[in-house]
A and B are shown apart, each in its own frame.
Chain A
Amino acid sequence: MRQKDGVSQKARIWIMRYVGKYAKLILLALSAGALCAGCGVLGAALLRRVIDGLAAERLTGIGSIFFWCGGLLVTGAGAAWMTRYASGSAATRILQEVKDDAAAHISTMTAEYMAKKHSGDILSRLTDDVNRVSSFVQDDLISIITNPFLLVFYFTYLLYLNGSLFVVSILPVILCLPLGAFLTTKFKAGSKAYMQYSADIISASADMIGGMEVVKSYCLEDTLLEDYGASVEKMTRMAICNDKNQYKGRAFFILSGTLSSILCLVTGGWFCLQGRLTIGSLVAFFSLLPKMVEVMNDMAGRIFNSKVALAAAERIFEILYAPSEQTGDIESGRMEAPAIEFRDVSFSYEEGTFVLTNTSFRVLRGETVAVVGASGGGKSTLLRLLCGFYRPQQGSILVEGIPLADWNLEALRSRISYVSQHAYLFPVSVGENIAMGKPGADKEEIRMAAEAANASGFIEKLPDGYETPAGERGSRLSGGQIQRISIARAILKDAPILLLDEATSALDVQAEADVQKALDRLAEGRTTLVVAHRLSTIKNADYIVVMEHGSVAEIGTHKELMKHGRVYPKLYSQYTGSGMEYADESGKNNNGGA
Chain B
Amino acid sequence: MNQEKITMAGLEKYLSLFEKAGVYWVCLLLIPIMEVLVSAMNALLYQRIINAVAASDSTLFRSALWLAGSVLTVNLARCIVIYTYMYQIRQIMKRLRLRVMTHLFRLPMSYFEGHHTADSIQKLCFHVEDIKTSLASRHQSVIKPVITGSVAIGMILWLDVRLGFMVLVLSLVSVKIDMFLSKPLRGMALRVQKLLTVCTERLTDILAGSAVIKMFAGARVMTEKYAAANAEAADASVKRFRRMSDVQAVEWVFGFLCNIVILIIGVFMSFAGMVDFGTVVAILSLQGMVSYFLGNIGSGWGCLIDSFVLADRVYEILEQPVLEEQTLREQTLREQTLRERDGSGAAKEEAAFLSQKDGIQIREAVFSYDGCEKVIDGINIAAERGKMTALAGASGGGKSTIVKLVLGFYRLNSGTVSVLGRPVSDDTLKELRSNIAYVPQDAYLFHTSIKENIRYGRLCASDEEVVEAAKRAYAHDFIMSFPSGYDTMVGERGESLSGGQRQRIALARAFVRNAPILLLDEATSALDAESEQLVQKGIEALMGGRTTLVVAHRPSTIEKADKIYVLENGKVCEKGRGAVSHMTQP
Contact (Cβ within 8 A) B204 A119: yes
Q: Tell me whether chain B's interface is mostly helix, strand or loop, or mixed.
A: helix
Contact of B395 among A213, A413, A479, A579 (CB under 8 A): A479
Given A89-B241, A219-B433, A225:B121 Cβ within 8 A: no
Whether the Cβ atoms of A251 and B500 lie closer than 8 Å is: no
- What residues of chain B lie closer than 8 Å to A128, measured between beta carbons? 125-126, 129
* Complex contact B496–A349 (CB within 8 A): yes
**A203 and B79 contacting across the interface, CB-CB below 8 Å:** no
B53 closest partner in A (C-beta): A272
Chain B contributes a number of interface residues (CB within 8 A of A) equal to 178
Instruction: Kindly identify, within residues 467 to 505 of chain B, every residue whose CB is under 8 Å from any CB belonging to chain A.
Output: 478, 482-483, 491-493, 495-496, 498-501
Provide 6 A-B residue pairs closer than 8 Å at the C-beta atoms, listed in order of the A residue.
A54-B277, A103-B227, A123-B121, A269-B50, A428-B225, A510-B583
CB <8 Å contact, A436 and B120: no
What is the minimal beta-carbon distance from B214 to any residue of chain A, in angstroms?
6
Q: Is B46 an interface residue (CB 8 A)?
A: yes
Closest to A414 in B: B217
**A 424-462 binary contact with B (CB < 8 Å = 1; else 0):** 101110001001111101000000000000000010000
Chain B residue numbers with a CB within 8 Å of A81 are 245-246, 248-249
Does B38 have its Cβ within 8 Å of any Cβ on chain A? Answer: yes
Q: Say yes or no for A533: interface residue by CB 8 A criterion.
A: yes
A115 to B495, CA, bound (A): 8
B172 within 8 A of A: no
Q: Which residue of B lies closest to A117 (CB)?
A: B492
B208 contacts A80, CB within 8 Å? Answer: no
Bound complex: CA of A85 vs CA of B478, how far in Å? 61
**Number of A residues whose C-beta is below 8 Å from B?**
177
* Complexed CA–CA distance, A81 and B46 (Å): 33
The smallest C-beta distance from B193 to any residue of chain A, in angstroms, reads 11
- Given known A505-B525, A578-B556, contact A586–B483 (CB-CB < 8 A): no
Q: Is the CB of A592 within 8 A of B560?
A: yes
The answer to whether A590 and B578 touch across the interface, beta carbons within 8 angstroms, is: yes
* Known contacts A76-B252, A243-B90: A436-B444 contact under CB 8 Å: no
Task: Specify which of B112, B124, B249 is in contact with A212 (CB 8 Å cutoff).
Answer: B112
Chain B 201-225 against A: per-residue CB contact (8 Å), 1 yes, 0 no? Answer: 1111111111111111111111101
B420-442: which residues lie under 8 A (CB-CB) from chain A? 430, 433-434, 436, 438, 440-441
One of B71, B90, B434 near A258 (C-beta < 8 A): B71
The answer to whether B409 and A213 have CB atoms under 8 Å apart is yes
A120–B45 contact, CB under 8 A?
no
**What residues on A are CB-neighbors of B133 within 8 Å?**
135
Query: Is residue B572 contacting chain A, with contact meaning CB distance below 8 A?
Result: no
For window 251-310 of A, CB contacts with B under 8 Å fall at: 251, 254-255, 258-259, 261-262, 265-266, 268-270, 272-273, 279, 282-283, 286-287, 290
A506 on the B face (CB < 8 A)? yes
Q: How far is the CA of A349 from the CA of B497 in the complex (A)?
A: 11
- Bound state CA distance, A478 and B78, in angstroms? 63
A375 touches B527 (CB 8 A): yes
CA distance A570 to B392 in the complex (A): 30
How far is it, in angstroms, between the C-alpha of A405 and the C-alpha of B145 when the chains are bound? Answer: 64
- Enumerate chain B residues within 8 angstroms of A203, measured Cβ to Cβ: 447, 492
Main secondary structure of the interface of A (DSSP, over half): helix
CB distance from B107 to the nearest CB of A (A): 9
- Contacting pair B522 A479 (CB below 8 A): yes
Which residues of A lie under 8 Å from residue B54 when comparing CB positions? 55, 279
**Bound CA–CA A589/B555 (angstroms):** 7
A355-409 interface with B by 8 A CB criterion: 372-376, 380, 387, 389
In the docked arrangement, what's the CA distance between A131 and B193, Å? Answer: 11
Contact residue among B46, B126, B211, B396 (Cβ-Cβ distance under 8 Å from A131): B126
Contact stretch, chosen from A143-151, A153-161, A185-193, A226-234 = A226-234
B9-17, B332-340, B353-361, B530-538: which one contacts chain A?
A: B530-538
Bound CA–CA A51/B498 (angstroms):
84
CB–CB A265/B46 < 8 A:
yes
Q: Whole-angstrom distance from the CB of A271 to the nearest CB of chain B?
A: 9
Q: Is the CB of A521 closer than 8 A to any CB of chain B?
A: no
- CA A220 to CA B78, docked complex, whole Å: 46
- Which A48-94 residues sit within 8 Å CB-CB of chain B? 50-51, 54-55, 59, 69, 72-73, 76-78, 80-85, 88-89, 92-93
Q: Contact mask B368-397 → A, CB, 8 Å, 1/0?
A: 010001000000000000000000111110
Q: How far is the CA of A212 from the CA of B478 in the complex (A)?
A: 27
Q: Which of A73, A418, A593 contacts B560 (CB 8 A)?
A: A593
Query: Pick the contact of A279 from B220, B238, B277, B482 — CB < 8 Å?
Result: B277
A413 with B94: CB separation less than 8 A: no
Partner of B90 from A236, A349, A513 at Cβ < 8 Å: A236
Point out the residues of chain B lying under 8 angstroms from A204, CB to CB.
447
Q: Are A123 and B200 in contact (CB under 8 A)?
A: yes
Which residue in B65, B204, B220, B393 is a CB contact (below 8 Å) of A123? Answer: B204
| Contact between chains at B71 and A126 (CB < 8 Å) | no
Q: Quick one: closest B residue to A581, CB to CB?
A: B555
Q: Does B194 contact A (CB under 8 A)?
A: no
- CA gap between A506 and B436 in the complex, in Å: 24
Specify which chain B residues have a CB less than 8 angstroms from the CB of A219 in the assembled complex: 430, 433-434
Known: A115-B495, A218-B509, A477-B396. 4 other contacts (CB 8 A): A59-B267, A210-B493, A283-B284, A593-B558
Which residues of B from 33 to 69 have beta carbons under 8 Å from A?
38, 42, 45-46, 49-50, 52-54, 56, 58, 61, 64-65, 68
Do A247 and B216 touch across chains, with their CB atoms under 8 A apart?
no
Q: Roughly how many angstroms separate A220 CA and B444 CA in the complex, as a whole number? A: 14
Q: A77-B253, A254-B75, A507-B395 are in contact. Are A123 and B118 (CB under 8 A)?
A: yes
- A 504-531 contacts with B by CB, 8 A: 505-513, 516
Whether A583 is near chain B, meaning CB under 8 Å from some CB there, is yes
Chain A contacts with B in 475-495, Cβ cutoff 8 A: 475-481, 489, 493
Q: Which residues from B are CB-within-8-Å of A506?
A: 441, 522, 525-526, 553
> Do B126 and A205 touch (CB < 8 A)?
no
A332 at the interface (CB under 8 A from B): no
Given contacts A202-B121, A509-B553, contact A590 B581 (CB under 8 A): yes
A45 at the interface (CB under 8 A from B): no
Contact A85 B529 (CB under 8 A): no
Which chain A residues lie closer than 8 Å to B528 at the CB level? 372-375, 502, 533
| Min CB–CB distance A550 → chain B (angstroms) | 11
Contact with B along A16-57 (1 / 0, CB 8 A): 000000000000000000000000000100010011001100
Query: Which residue from chain B places its CB closest to the CB of A80 in the assembled complex?
Result: B252
Closest-CB distance, A532 to chain B (whole angstroms): 9
A438 and B478 contacting across the interface, CB-CB below 8 Å: no
In this complex, what residue of A is CB-closest to B240? Answer: A88
Closest 8 CB pairs of A and B: A579-B556, A375-B500, A88-B241, A480-B395, A436-B218, A513-B586, A81-B249, A593-B560
The answer to whether A593 touches B559, judged by C-beta atoms less than 8 angstroms apart, is yes
A32 to chain B, nearest CB (A): 10
| Contact across chains for A96 and B231 when beta carbons are under 8 A apart | yes
B244 x A84 contact (CB < 8 A):
yes
